[in-house]
Amino acid sequence: MITLIHGDDIDASRQALNTFKKEAKSKELRQLDGRSVDATMLTQTLESGSLFGKEYVVIIENLFGKLGKKIKIIESLSTILRKSNSQIILWENKELSATVIKSLGKVDGKLFKTPIILFQFLDSIVPGRKSNALILFQKLETTQPVEIVFMMLFRRIRQLLIVISGSSPEGLQPWQTSRLRTQAKMFSQEKLLDLYRTLLDIEYSIKSGASPFTLGSHIRQFLISL
């Protein structure tokens, strides 16, 4: 049986993976980094018996994400997975294409996607538009953990700093980098550095317990300062 956990909401998908690990604690766990796995290694892991005679679960992370459109390799690995009688959990840090999912045959698929409103909020982080950002944040607070919103906000400011310096953040599609460049042009590098330092201060004050304010209050003050 193959369970597929995928999508760009990495925190939620990680939680799901950790739940599987806890449920399988009485079994032998075999964990593989899919980025360094080939067909031979995969076959050996799936077919070799347990030294202790226990049931085992094979967990493979990021097996297909690295392959892009290498259809022959995808089909080869999928065939090995389909033919196995082992319990297999595949975890991917992004949404897999319909082609890859179809190649796996019958799977228990669990897709975790970041809500669109969160990306709308991140895109609203520009000078002079704090009202829109505050409205979107208010909506987000009712549906998303504020810690996740803060983490994504932190990452977005860091990405804007990277693109304004002339580089490209890793793991992004060209269209995503292009949108970041458009957003970054609305800031000076000095302003982005100031925002980044503010977020660092917020993180430290919350983790150290030195702040009398909630994380949500800090984010609202941050947005007002845009």
Q: What is the CATH number for 126?
A: 1.20.272.10
Task: Report the mean per-residue pLDDT for the chain.
Answer: 91
Q: Which of 76, 111, 146 is the last residue of a domain?
A: 111
Indicate whether 163 and 95 sit together in one domain.
no
Overall number of domains in the chain: 2
Instruction: 161-167: list long-range contacts, CB under 8 Å, 24+ apart.
Output: 161/189, 161/192, 161/193, 161/196, 164/189, 164/192, 165/189
Domain of 53: which CATH number? Answer: 3.40.50.300
Give pTM, 2 decimals. 0.69
Question: In this structure, are 158 and 97 located in the same domain?
Answer: no
User: In this structure, are 148 and 191 located in the same domain?
Assistant: yes
| Phi, psi (degrees; rounded to nearest 5) at 110 | -130, 105
pLDDT surpassing 60 at residue 51: no
- 69 pLDDT band (50/70/90 cuts)? confident
| CA dihedral for 79, 42, 16, 7, sign (positive or negative) | negative
Domain that holds residue 131: 116-224
For 91-115, what is the mean pLDDT?
92
Q: Please report which confidence band the pLDDT of residue 153 belongs to, taking 50, 70 and 90 as the band edges.
A: very high
**pLDDT digit string, tens, across residues 195-215:** 999 999 999 999 998 889 999
- Report pLDDT digits (tens) over 3-23: 999 998 888 899 899 998 998
